[in-house]
C-alpha cells in the first residue's frame, strides 16, 4: 500500500483541501458560538442548526467528525457515498476501520494521530477501504478543535481518482480546444494581470499583421485607440469581481487601420480565487457597427418624419413604428409591436383590401390607396398609405414598410371646394337663365299689354255682352295666365320691382298660417317653431309669402300620404368661414327660415337642377317648373341665399338666409351651422 503522511506536493490540491478544512472548522465554530449565544432561543437555534446541517450535507467533499479516540461522530452524504455506508453504519465505525489491513496502515494511522496531538492538524494522501473492500485513494486534511470540553477532529476527504480523471480529461480537452482555437476565425488571446500576451491565436496575428513572437510578452493596450484605453481598463476591473466576465468594445490599430473589436473577457482563477490570467475572445464588428449607426440614423429620420411609418417582417408582424404612428392611432409602441396592421383597417371590405395588398407587395410591387382606418378610441379617419417591399443585397424581401398620412382634412377641404365650385357653377347658370328669363319676360309683358288692353275695350263694348264676346274673354283669360307666368319669370330673373320695408318674419308666418292651412291637405300637419328674439329684415311681404306658399305646395306634393310640414326661424351670426358655405353672402347677422317636410326626399341629380326654371318632376299637367325657380329668384333679390338638404326617403329641408337689420331689436345670435 502506498501511503504518505507528507504534505501533498504543489498542484495536488492540498491548498484547496486545507481551505475546505478551514471553512468547515469555521462553520462549525460559528455554529458552536451561535448555539452558546442563542441557547435561550430554541426556535432560532433550530433554524441555525438546520442551516449548517444543510451546508454540511451539501458539501462537495466528504466530511466527517471524530474524537481523539477515533470514534466517528458525524459524516455527510458525500462521505457515505464514497465509502458505500449508510450514515447509521458509518457512525458505528472507528477511523481505523477505513484503513486497509496491514502494518503499514496501522503505522500511518498512529503517525497521523501523533501529528494531530502535537500539531493540531495533518494533511496526507493514502488509500482507504470501502464497505465492499474496494480501495479508494484520497487527500485528507484534518484539524483538531476544542468544542466545549471535548477535542474533536474535523476531516475533509477528497477522492484523488476523480481529480486524476478530470486532469486527464482536461489535458485531452485542452488539446482539442487548442486545435479549435488555432483554426477559428474569432480572435483568441490570453494575457496576464499586467496585460502581457501569453497566447495569441493565428487569426489575431493575421488581423494585426504580426507574428506570435512579435506579440508574446508585449502588452495589448498600445494597440487600443487612445480614446478607448481608459474605458477598456475600467471595464476590465470587473474581471476581479464575480462573475469574472466582462464585455467591451474598442478600436484597435490593425493592418487595415482602425477597426472596432468586440471582446468577451473571462478571468482564469487560481486555487484561492485570485485572477491568474485573462482569456479574451474577440470579433471584428466594424461593419456591424457601421450598419447599426446607419440603422440608428435611419430610425432617427423615421421617428422625426411627419408621416406615420410602420415596418413589418415578412409575416406581416409589426417590428417598428415611429412616433407619428402612436400620435395618429393612439396606441403605444408596445401595444402595436408583433401585431399585424389589419386591426387598424375600418373598411367594410377590409379582407378584400388585405388580399389585394398581399398579392401586390408579395410580387415585389408597391401598393397604394386610400382607406378608412380606426384609432384606438374607435374614431375613424381617411388614410392615404403606400406599402413597399424592402430587399436585402441578394434581392430577397426582408420586410415591408408602410408610409401613412391622415388626409381627412384634405378630403374635407376638397369636398368643400367641390361643393363651392358646384354652387358657383349653379349660381352662374341660374344667373344666366335668370337674365334670359327676365329679358324674355319683359318682351312678353310688352306684347301682352296691348292684348289685355284691347280685350278689356272689346269686353266693355256692345260685343262683350253677347255670345260673340266669348272668344274675347278666352283671349283675355289666356293673356292673364301669360301675365302671371311673366311675373314668375321676372321674379326668378330678379327683374321685378319689389316694395321693401321692415318685416318681422315671425309675424309674417303667423299671419300666413291660416292661408297655409287652406292651401295644403288636411293630412299634413303644420308646425311653427319661431325664435322669439328674431331680428327684423328688409323685404317684400308679398314676395316672401309667395316663397312660403311655393315651398308649402312643393312639400305637399312630396307627401302624398300626409306628413309634417315644419317652419322654424332663428337668428344667426355668420363668420367669414361660415359665410363661405353660402353663395356670395358676406359675414354678419342673418335670419334663417327652415322649411322642412317628412316627404320622399330627392336624389343628388334632382337637387342639382332644383332651382332651374321649367324643371319639374311632377309631369307637364301637374306644374310649370317655375315654383322653386321663383323661390330662388325672390330670395336672391332680397340679398339672401337658399340651400336644400335632402336624401331619398328622409325628407327635405330648405334653408333660407335673409340679411338681418343691425340694431333692430335684441336677439341672441347663434353660430351658423
Rounded Cα–Cα distance for residues 596 and 33 (Å): 101
- Provide the pairing of β-strand 563-574 with 524-529: parallel
Residue 252 is predicted with a pLDDT of 92
User: Which of 101, 170, 104, 99 minimizes the C-alpha distance to 138?
Assistant: 99
Query: Which residues share a beta bridge with 166?
Result: none
State percent of the chain over pLDDT 70: 77
> Is the distance from CB of 269 to CB of 275 less than 8 angstroms?
yes
pLDDT band, very low/low/confident/very high, at 477 (cuts 50, 70, 90) = confident
Rounded Cα–Cα distance for residues 434 and 492 (Å): 6
Residue 14 is predicted with a pLDDT of 55
Q: Of the ranges 4-8, 136-140, 327-331, 514-518, which one carries the lowest mean pLDDT score?
A: 4-8
> What's 534's DSSP letter?
P
Q: 405: helix, coil or strand?
A: strand
Cα–Cα distances (Å) from 92 to 74, 87, 248, in that order, read 10, 9, 58
pLDDT band, very low/low/confident/very high, at 228 (cuts 50, 70, 90) = very high
Distant-in-sequence contacts of 146-151, Cβ < 8 A, 24+ apart: 147/28, 147/32, 148/32, 150/67, 151/67, 151/68
User: Which of 666, 668, 638, 640 minimizes the C-alpha distance to 654?
Assistant: 640
Average pLDDT, the chain: 80
Classify the phi-psi angles of 234: left when phi > 0, otherwise alpha if psi is within -120 to 50, otherwise beta: alpha
Rounded Cα–Cα distance for residues 643 and 580 (Å): 13
393 versus 325: which is more confidently predicted?
Answer: 325
**Cell reading at 648:** 331619398
Handedness of CA 289, 291, 297, 303 (dihedral sign): negative
228 versus 582: which is more confidently predicted?
Answer: 228
In three-state form (DSSP H/G/I as H, E/B as E, the rest C), the secondary structure along 562-625 is CEEEEEEEEEEEECHHHHCCCCCCCCEEEEEEEEEECCCCCCHHHHHHCCCCCCCCCCCCCCCC
2 versus 466: which is more confidently predicted?
Answer: 466
User: Which of 531, 532, 652 minimizes the C-alpha distance to 598?
Assistant: 652
Rounded Cα–Cα distance for residues 613 and 491 (Å): 11
Q: 276: helix, coil or strand?
A: strand
Q: Of the ranges 327-336, 455-464, 490-499, which one carries the lowest mean pLDDT score?
A: 490-499
- Tell me if the bond preceding 173 is cis, omega within 30° of 0: no
pLDDT band, very low/low/confident/very high, at 654 (cuts 50, 70, 90) = very high
pLDDT of 8 higher than 60: no
pLDDT of 41 higher than 80: no
pLDDT band, very low/low/confident/very high, at 592 (cuts 50, 70, 90) = very high
**Alpha-carbon radius of gyration of the chain:** 54
- Taking residues 298-321, report their average pLDDT: 81
pLDDT digits 0-9 by tens, 82-105:
899 999 999 999 999 999 998 888
Residue 570 is predicted with a pLDDT of 93
Residue with cell 409602441: 333
- Taking residues 251-260, report their average pLDDT: 91
pLDDT digits 0-9 by tens, 381-429:
998 889 989 888 788 888 898 888 888 888 888 877 777 676 666 656 6
- Taking residues 486-505, report their average pLDDT: 67
Residue 673 is predicted with a pLDDT of 47
- Read off φ and ψ for residue 196, nearest 5 degrees: -85, 135
- Provide the pairing of β-strand 318-321 with 308-312: antiparallel
pLDDT digits 0-9 by tens, 503-513:
999 998 888 88
- Taking residues 554-575, report their average pLDDT: 90
Q: Of the ranges 115-129, 296-310, 363-377, which one carries the lowest mean pLDDT score?
A: 296-310
**Cell reading at 526:** 303644420
Rounded Cα–Cα distance for residues 31 and 50 (Å): 10
User: Which of 389, 386, 393, 387 minimizes the C-alpha distance to 364?
Assistant: 389
> Is the distance from CB of 571 to CB of 531 less than 8 angstroms?
yes
pLDDT digits 0-9 by tens, 184-210:
678 888 899 899 999 888 889 988 999
Q: 638: helix, coil or strand?
A: coil
pLDDT digits 0-9 by tens, 437-448:
556 666 676 777
pLDDT digits 0-9 by tens, 617-643:
765 555 556 678 778 888 888 889 988
- Read off φ and ψ for residue 429, nearest 5 degrees: -65, -45
Q: Which residues contact 394 (CB under 8 A, 6 or more apart)?
A: none
- The domains found in the chain, sorted by start residue, are 14-164 (3.30.450.20), 184-284 (3.30.450.20), 305-406 (3.30.450.20), 412-490 (1.10.287), 498-671 (3.30.565.10)
pLDDT of 591 higher than 90: yes
Q: Of the ranges 67-81, 251-265, 421-435, 467-481, which one carries the lowest mean pLDDT score?
A: 421-435
Residue 441 is predicted with a pLDDT of 60
- Taking residues 239-265, report their average pLDDT: 90
Amino acid at each position: 500500500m502506498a501511503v504518505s503522511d507528507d504534505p501533498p506536493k504543489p498542484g495536488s490540491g492540498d491548498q484547496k483541501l486545507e481551505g475546505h478544512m478551514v471553512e468547515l472548522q469555521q462553520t462549525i465554530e460559528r455554529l458552536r458560538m451561535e448555539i452558546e449565544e442563542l441557547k435561550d432561543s430554541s426556535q432560532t437555534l433550530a433554524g441555525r442548526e438546520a442551516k449548517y446541517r444543510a451546508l454540511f450535507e451539501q458539501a462537495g467533499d466528504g466530511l466527517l467528525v471524530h474524537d481523539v479516540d477515533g470514534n466517528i461522530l458525524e459524516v455527510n452524504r458525500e462521505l457515505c457515498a464514497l465509502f458505500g455506508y449508510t450514515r447509521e453504519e458509518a457512525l458505528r465505525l472507528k477511523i481505523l476501520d477505513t484503513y486497509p489491513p496491514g502494518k503499514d496502515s496501522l503505522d500511518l494511522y498512529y503517525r497521523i494521530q501523533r501529528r494531530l496531538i502535537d500539531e493540531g492538524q495533518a494533511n496526507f494522501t493514502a488509500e482507504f477501504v470501502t464497505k465492499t473492500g474496494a480501495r479508494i485513494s484520497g487527500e485528507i486534511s484534518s484539524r483538531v478543535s476544542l468544542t466545549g470540553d471535548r477535542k474533536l477532529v474535523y476531516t475533509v476527504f477528497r477522492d484523488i481518482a476523480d481529480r486524476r480523471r478530470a486532469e486527464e480529461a482536461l489535458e485531452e480537452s485542452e488539446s482539442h480546444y487548442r486545435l479549435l482555437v488555432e483554426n477559428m476565425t474569432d480572435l483568441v488571446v490570453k494575457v496576464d494581470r499586467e496585460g502581457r500576451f501569453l497566447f495569441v491565436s493565428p487569426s489575431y496575428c493575421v488581423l494585426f499583421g504580426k507574428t506570435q513572437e512579435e506579440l508574446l510578452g508585449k502588452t495589448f493596450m498600445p494597440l487600443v485607440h487612445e480614446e478607448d484605453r481608459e474605458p477598456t481598463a475600467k471595464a476590465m476591473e470587473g474581471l476581479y469581481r464575480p462573475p469574472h466576465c466582462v464585455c467591451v468594445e474598442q478600436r484597435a490599430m490593425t493592418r487595415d487601420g482602425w477597426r472596432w473589436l468586440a471582446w468577451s473577457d473571462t478571468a482564469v482563477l487560481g486555487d484561492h480565487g485570485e485572477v491568474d490570467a485573462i482569456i479574451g475572445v474577440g470579433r471584428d464588428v466594424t461593419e456591424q457597427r457601421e450598419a447599426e449607426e446607419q440603422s440608428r440614423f435611419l430610425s432617427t429620420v423615421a421617428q422625426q418624419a411627419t408621416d406615420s411609418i410602420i415596418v413589418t417582417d415578412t409575416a406581416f408582424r409589426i417590428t417598428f413604428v415611429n412616433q407619428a404612428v402612436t400620435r395618429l392611432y393612439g396606441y403605444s409602441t408596445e401595444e402595436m409591436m408583433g401585431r399585424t396592421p389589419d386591426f387598424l383597417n375600418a373598411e367594410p371590405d377590409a379582407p378584400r383590401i388585405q388580399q389585394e395588398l398581399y398579392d401586390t407587395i408579395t410580387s415585389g410591387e408597391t401598393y397604394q390607396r386610400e382607406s378608412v382606418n380606426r384609432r384606438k378610441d374607435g374614431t375613424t379617419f381617411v388614410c392615404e398609405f403606400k406599402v413597399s417591399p424592402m430587399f436585402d443585397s441578394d434581392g430577397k424581401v426582408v420586410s415591408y414598410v408602410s408610409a401613412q398620412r391622415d388626409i381627412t382634412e384634405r378630403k374635407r377641404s376638397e369636398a368643400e371646394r367641390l361643393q363651392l365650385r358646384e354652387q358657383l357653377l349653379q349660381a352662374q347658370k341660374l344667373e344666366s337663365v335668370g337674365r334670359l328669363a327676365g329679358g324674355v319676360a319683359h318682351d312678353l309683358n310688352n306684347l301682352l299689354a296691348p292684348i289685355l288692353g284691347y280685350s278689356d275695350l272689346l269686353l266693355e263694348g256692345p260685343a262683350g255682352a253677347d255670345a260673340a264676346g266669348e272668344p274675347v274673354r278666352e283671349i283675355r283669360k289666356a293673356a292673364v295666365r301669360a301675365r302671371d307666368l311673366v311675373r314668375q319669370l321676372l321674379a326668378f330673373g330678379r327683374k321685378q320691382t319689389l316694395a321693401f320695408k321692415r318685416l318681422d318674419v315671425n309675424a309674417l308666418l303667423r299671419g300666413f298660417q291660416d292661408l297655409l292651412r287652406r292651401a295644403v291637405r288636411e293630412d299634413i300637419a303644420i308646425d311653427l317653431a319661431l325664435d322669439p328674439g328674431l331680428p327684423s329684415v328688409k323685404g317684400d311681404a308679398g314676395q316672401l309669402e309667395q316663397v312660403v306658399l311655393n315651398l308649402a305646395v312643393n312639400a305637399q306634393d312630396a307627401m302624398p300620404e300626409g306628413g309634417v310640414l315644419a317652419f322654424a326661424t332663428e337668428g344667426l351670426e355668420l363668420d367669414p368661414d361660415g359665410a363661405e358655405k353660402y353663395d356670395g353672402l358676406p359675414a354678419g347677422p342673418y335670419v334663417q327660415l327652415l322649411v322642412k317636410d317628412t316627404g320622399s326626399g330627392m336624389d343628388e341629380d334632382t337637387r342639382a337642377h332644383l332651382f332651374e326654371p321649367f324643371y319639374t318632376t311632377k309631369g307637364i299637367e301637374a306644374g310649370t317648373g317655375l315654383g322653386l325657380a321663383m323661390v330662388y329668384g325672390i330670395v336672391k333679390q332680397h340679398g339672401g341665399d337658399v340651400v336644400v338638404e335632402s336624401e331619398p326617403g328622409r325628407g327635405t329641408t330648405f334653408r333660407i338666409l335673409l340679411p338681418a337689420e343691425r340694431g333692430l331689436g335684441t336677439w341672441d345670435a347663434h353660430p351658423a351651422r
